[in-house]
Amino acid sequence: MTIVDIYVHGFFLVMAVGLPYLILFLEGLGIARKDQHLLLAAKITSYVWAISFAFGAVKGTLVEFGLVQIWSGTILAIGSTFFLPMFYELFAFLAEICCYQLIYIHGAN
């Protein structure tokens, strides 16, 4: 079951990384052409992105919990060998969460 969860999390990861570029493209094109349909498409896509980001974060947390519980020795070996890249990934994840919260707070006003 863990491998299925990893692939599902990977799908949401691809959505969370790829959709902001599509939103930026749609919004930029909508502003340049003054097309309300493109701006609406960008807004709807941003909702899809927010939902996929939330599902990906939840699924990633569950996957990590499962990996630590089931394969704790493997996680320890990977963490000991690849400490610095994992630290950078954690830093990037925390920066992503902070930026997402700033966008959410700014959008709420």
Is residue 15 a contact partner of residue 56, using CB atoms and an 8 Å limit?
Answer: yes
CA dist., res. 80 & res. 36, Å (int): 52
pLDDT digits 0-9 by tens, 64-103? 888 778 877 877 787 788 888 878 888 888 887 787 777 7
Q: What is the pLDDT of residues 36-50, one digit of tens each?
A: 999 999 999 999 998
Q: Where are the domains of the chain?
A: 1-70, 71-109
Encode pLDDT of 12-37 as tens digits: 888 888 899 999 999 999 999 999 99
pTM of the model: 0.64
d(CA 81, CA 75) in angstroms, rounded, equals: 10
Listed residue (74, 82, 69, 58) closest to 5, CA to CA: 58
Asked if 42 and 30 touch (Cβ cutoff 8 Å), the reply is yes
pLDDT at residue 30, as a whole number: 94
| pLDDT at site 107 | 63
Question: What tokens does 3 get?
Answer: 């491998």
Residue 62: HSE in the Cβ half-sphere, 13 Å Cα cutoff: 16
Residues written for the chain? 109
Cβ pair 16, 49 in contact under 8 A = yes
